[in-house]
């Protein structure tokens, strides 16, 4: 803003309006985080009475104490890690070679396959056929089923394919002249050159796996297999109509709201930890396909 005086009047108004909009957006995005964190550290009474606005009221760690004593919390936390790490690795194993193949001009039927993949972005079978499909494949209530079934994502394949396509062909040709086969070209040249794109896709996979809720709820029945988000859902529905819990919480100083908030905070922390490491790639990655480097 040091050149503010050099701005034309219209530009000034534009800058002000944009700043206000960004400010509003920031508040709208950030406030739920702050609110949930504040609730999780507040007493059950304060939360129920709606006294929490920005900062914890009657600060306490009771809600956290309650959830960390629940073995199911730790089981579902572990499961979420398994789904996230296993699912992300599985996804990358499918997406990277898939995107590479689709980006190669020598692939016979390339246009058809590309259309085929893109088609799934707009149309899919829907809930019941998918469920029946999983049932017939014996993948209901199966941890491997969850990891496998959502490994391929058309958007990620297309994103990476575009990035691969933008890599000059001469890199591939140089590698071939150097004696590399298809796999060596992919793993020794294309993958290292595509770090930003792969980091972006990895983050997309991590976040979607970590937050995966709906299909896990539909496909998993055993308590020992559910991820954190499903556990959260169970907790919310159990606590709200559990009379015994209502008596305990009054004595202990937490409530259904604060426990829920505490679980949410716990579920956010790992993503917050991972993000800074991938951020620099992620920001580049968002522009992928738009600009040919």
Total Cβ atoms within 10 A of residue 3: 6
Euclidean distance between CA atoms 262 and 43, whole angstroms: 12
Of 23 and 168, which CB lies nearer to another protein in the complex structure?
Answer: 168
CB nearer to another protein: pick between 44 and 285: 285
Q: Which is nearer to another protein, 178 or 224 (CB)?
A: 178
Least distance to another protein from the beta carbon of 191, Å?
9
Give the residue with the Cβ less far from another protein, 5 or 181.
Answer: 181
> How far apart (Å, rounded) are the C-alpha atoms in residues 86 and 80?
10
**Residues 222-261, interacting with another protein (CB under 8 A):** none
Total residues interacting with another protein, rule: CB under 8 A: 17
CB of 107 to another protein, least distance (A): 16
Q: Residue 193 or residue 271: which is nearer to another protein going by CB?
A: 193
Task: Say how far apart CA 89 and CA 82 lie, in whole Å.
Answer: 10
Which residue, 175 or 219, is less far from another protein as judged by CB? Answer: 175
Could you tell me the smallest distance in angstroms from the CB atom of residue 102 to another protein? 21
The CA-based angle 176-182-188, given to 5 degrees, is 75
Q: Taking CB under 8 A as the criterion, which residues in 136-195 touch another protein?
A: 168, 170-171, 173-180, 184, 188-189, 192-193, 195
Smallest separation (angstroms) from another protein to the CB of 206:
23
Residue 169 beta carbon to another protein: minimum distance, rounded to whole angstroms: 9
For residue 93, the minimal CB distance to another protein (Å) is 21
Question: Where on the chain is the footprint of another protein (CB under 8 A)?
Answer: 168, 170-171, 173-180, 184, 188-189, 192-193, 195
């Amino acid at each position: 803003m040091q050149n503010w005086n050099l701005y034309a009047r219209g530009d000034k108004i534009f800058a002000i309006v944009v700043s206000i909009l960004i400010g509003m957006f920031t508040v709208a995005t950030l406030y739920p985080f702050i609110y949930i964190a504040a609730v999780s550290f507040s007493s059950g009474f304060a939360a129920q009475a709606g006294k929490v606005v920005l900062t914890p009221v009657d600060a306490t760690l009771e809600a956290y104490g309650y959830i960390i004593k629940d073995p199911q919390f730790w089981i579902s936390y572990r499961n979420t890690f398994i789904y996230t790490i296993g699912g992300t690795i599985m996804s990358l194993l499918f997406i990277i070679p898939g995107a590479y193949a689709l980006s190669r001009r020598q692939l016979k039927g390339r246009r058809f396959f590309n259309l085929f993949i893109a088609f799934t972005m707009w149309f899919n079978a829907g809930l019941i056929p998918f469920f029946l499909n999983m049932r017939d494949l014996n993948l209901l209530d199966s941890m491997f089923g969850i990891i496998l079934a959502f490994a391929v994502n058309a958007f990620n394949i297309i994103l990476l394919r575009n990035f691969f396509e933008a890599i000059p062909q001469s890199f591939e040709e140089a590698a071939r002249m150097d004696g590399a086969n298809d796999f060596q070209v992919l793993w020794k040249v294309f993958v290292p050159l595509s770090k930003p794109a792969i980091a972006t896709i990895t983050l997309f996979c991590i976040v979607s796996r970590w937050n995966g809720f709906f299909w896990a709820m539909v496909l998993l029945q055993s308590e020992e297999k559910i991820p954190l988000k499903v556990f959260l859902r169970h907790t919310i529905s159990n606590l709200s109509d559990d009379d015994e819990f209502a008596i305990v919480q009054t004595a202990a100083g937490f409530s259904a709201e604060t426990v829920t908030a505490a679980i949410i905070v716990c579920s956010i922390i790992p993503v917050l930890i991972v993000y800074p490491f991938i951020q620099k790639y992620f920001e580049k990655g968002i522009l992928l396909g738009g600009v040919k480097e």
